[in-house]
């Protein structure tokens, strides 16, 4: 999204320091400025990210959800009621979150890219915000999955560039250096789609075998059991026992999530960190149910967003500003007093550098899901949502082995096959799609009544159609290209490029490390110590053993260079 001129000027004034910190350490370039080594009054930041969760939190108006800790947390800070993901599925959404750029801009829109035979490589100047934090002196910890479309491990759900993290298999912030601020990205899987399946549902693949023990443990520790008779069934589902039981299990999982969040908040208090730690709670996209996850309806995009920033957010405040999850990257950098780079598409939405200009729209995209090609784009304002289908001759419901294991989905498929769904419940099972959809999310929150052909809404359709066209024209949308073009672009000759080994120059105990690969991130370590992000030449004592490695995003990592002082 194009930033307003005021925002651009603000970014450009602040970004001079960023370009020194975040530019790749190439041998032909000047060395980067040294990182800050002390707190310098900067806060710790903890990002709690649930999986597959819409705004089903008590304080956000859900009467069924049992979330006392999240409710209390929200009352102590600010809750943002209109926050939306850029995709209804984890990989593409997380790719946008960590870069601050819509995933379809840099080839990360297909789920999963690795299944398409490539790893997307963003422009050389793009760095994930955890790496920018790390370059500025923060310790960065990741607890759980990564799934930024930048790795190949387990289909891309894990792995990726090592330069983002001081520890990518951390348990919170346990190994922190107390002289430096930390950023911890903690992933919470209690509400993942797979946790809605019955406890003893037998696995049918390697992945579901891996998830089964997690589901057993999660279900065993449910703090409550939600009565199936009490849940609300969306109008696009039939009101059956199977549907109600799956929805009830989701609420049980939400209660487990709430307990997990409470333990993290308690740990911050017990360790004396709460007063200097910003805590953000959100989700990677909306609910894990059919017609929610993987889709661009609000059920798949609308997420909770709660922030407690000691001394900044006022207790109990509510904001209805329109927020996209691409806003997290520049906002978190601003929280850390690090200037967001101008290429980030998101805006700062809280804090002293908040961009007060109201945005008219946010955008979302759906591309290939598993093995099913698709292209859908959406634009949402405060009230209306416009969706464009590029394959209107295809049915809405396409096969998805993972999704189809949910009892609710299996029942929907069976009922549709026997012509037992009708009315609004049959809309999703049509053999062809509406090429354009327009929904009034205020009067029709479940997005059932398509107004695109309503003459009374012709001007609204025209306005949002133009807004989407303008967004698509601003920068290349790689999701609109045939995926073979992406494979050829990112994996020439069918192989992942390999980052060349970095060079180590040693002069009078001063070490300089460089790479001829534009955009490569470099790490080093001395005497087998921890790996550190290289930002500037450094001194090393006689006898020191120096190792260095480099990786360009989307490429394989280099071999390790070594030298002895």
- Looking up tokens 């062809």 gives 432
Candidate list 49, 57, 89, 90, residue with the active-site label: 90
Rounded CA-CA distance 149/93 in Å is 10
Of 511, 493, 495, give the one whose Cα is nearest residue 503. 511
CB < 8 Å & 24+ apart, contacts of 524-531: 524/548, 524/549, 530/166, 531/162, 531/166
Q: Which tokens sit at 281?
A: 């709670």
DSSP 193-227: GGGGS-TTPPP-SHHHHHHHHHHHHHHHT-S----
In Å, how far from its chain's centre is CA 244?
29
Contact 415/238 with Cβ under 8 angstroms? yes
Query: What is the Cα–Cα distance from 547 to 113, expressed in whole angstroms?
Result: 31
Rounded CA separation 73/307 (Å): 8
The total of other beta-carbon atoms located within 10 Å of residue 116's CB is 21
Q: Is 18 in contact with 341 (CB distance < 8 Å)? A: yes
Beta bridge partners of 547: 525, 562
Q: What is the dihedral of CA 338, 339, 345, 349, to 10 degrees?
A: 70
- CA dist 559 and 551 (Å) reads 10
User: Is 26 annotated as catalytic?
Assistant: no
At 89, is the secondary structure helix, strand, or coil? coil
Nearest residue to 364 via CA among 81, 93, 116: 93
Burial class (CB in 10 A: 0-12, 13-18, 19+), 60: buried
E strands in 458-556: 503-507, 510-514, 521-526, 532-533, 538-539, 545-551
The conformation of residue 186, written as its DSSP 8-state character, comes to E
C-alpha distances in angstroms, 46 versus 57, 137, 217, 277, 530?
20, 16, 25, 7, 22
Active site residues: 90
């Amino acid at each position: 999204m194009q930033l307003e001129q005021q925002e651009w000027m603000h970014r450009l004034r602040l970004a001079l320091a960023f370009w020194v910190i975040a530019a790749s350490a190439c041998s032909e370039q000047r060395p980067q400025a040294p990182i800050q080594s002390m707190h310098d009054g900067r806060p710790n930041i903890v990002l709690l990210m649930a999986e597959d969760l819409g705004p089903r939190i008590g304080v956000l108006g859900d009467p069924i959800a049992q979330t006392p800790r999240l409710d209390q947390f929200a009352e102590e800070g600010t809750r943002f009621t209109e926050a939306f993901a850029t995709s209804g599925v984890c990989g593409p959404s997380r790719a946008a979150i960590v870069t601050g750029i819509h995933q379809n801009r840099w080839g990360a829109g297909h789920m999963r890219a690795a299944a398409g035979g490539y790893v997307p490589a963003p422009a050389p100047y793009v760095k994930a915000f955890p790496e920018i934090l790390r370059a500025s002196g923060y310790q960065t910890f990741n607890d759980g999955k990564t799934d930024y479309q930048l790795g190949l491990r387990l289909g891309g759900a894990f792995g990726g560039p090592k330069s983002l993290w001081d520890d990518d298999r951390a348990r919170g912030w346990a190994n922190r250096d107390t002289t430096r601020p930390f950023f911890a990205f903690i992933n919470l899987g209690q509400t993942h789609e797979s946790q809605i399946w019955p406890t003893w549902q037998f696995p049918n693949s390697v992945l579901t075998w891996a998830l089964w023990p997690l589901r057993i443990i999660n279900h065993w520790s449910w703090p409550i059991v939600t009565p199936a008779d009490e849940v609300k069934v969306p109008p696009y589902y039939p009101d059956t026992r199977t549907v109600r039981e799956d929805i009830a299990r989701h609420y049980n999982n939400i209660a487990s999530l709430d307990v997990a969040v409470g333990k993290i908040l308690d740990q911050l208090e017990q360790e004396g960190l709460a007063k200097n730690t910003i805590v953000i709670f959100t989700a990677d996209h909306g609910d894990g149910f059919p017609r929610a996850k993987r889709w661009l309806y609000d059920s798949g995009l609308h997420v909770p967003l709660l922030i407690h920033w000691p001394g900044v957010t006022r207790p109990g405040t509510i904001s209805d500003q329109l927020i996209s999850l691409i806003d997290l990257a520049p906002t978190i950098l601003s929280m850390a007093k690090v200037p967001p780079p101008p290429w980030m598409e998101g805006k700062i939405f809280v804090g002293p550098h908040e961009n007060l200009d109201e945005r008219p729209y946010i955008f979302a995209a759906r591309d290939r899901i598993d093995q099913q090609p698709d292209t859908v784009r959406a634009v949402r304002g405060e009230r209306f949502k416009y969706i464009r289908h590029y394959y209107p001759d295809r049915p809405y419901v396409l096969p998805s082995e993972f999704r189809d294991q949910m009892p609710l989905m299996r029942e929907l498929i069976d009922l549709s096959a026997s012509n037992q769904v009708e009315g609004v419940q049959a809309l999703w099972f049509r053999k062809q799609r509406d090429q354009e959809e327009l929904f009034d999310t205020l009067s029709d929150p479940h997005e059932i009544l398509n107004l695109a052909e309503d003459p009374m809404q012709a001007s609204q359709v025209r306005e949002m159609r133009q807004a989407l066209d303008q967004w698509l024209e601003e920068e290349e949308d790689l999701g609109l290209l045939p995926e073979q073009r992406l494979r050829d672009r990112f994996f020439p000759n069918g192989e992942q490029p390999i980052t060349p080994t970095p060079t180590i120059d040693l002069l009078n105990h001063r070490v300089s490390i460089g790479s001829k690969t534009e955009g490569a991130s470099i790490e080093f370590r001395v005497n087998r110590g921890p790996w550190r992000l290289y930002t500037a030449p450094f001194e090393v004592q006689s006898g020191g053993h120096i190792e260095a490695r480099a990786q360009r995003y989307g490429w394989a990592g280099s071999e390790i260079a070594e030298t002895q002082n």
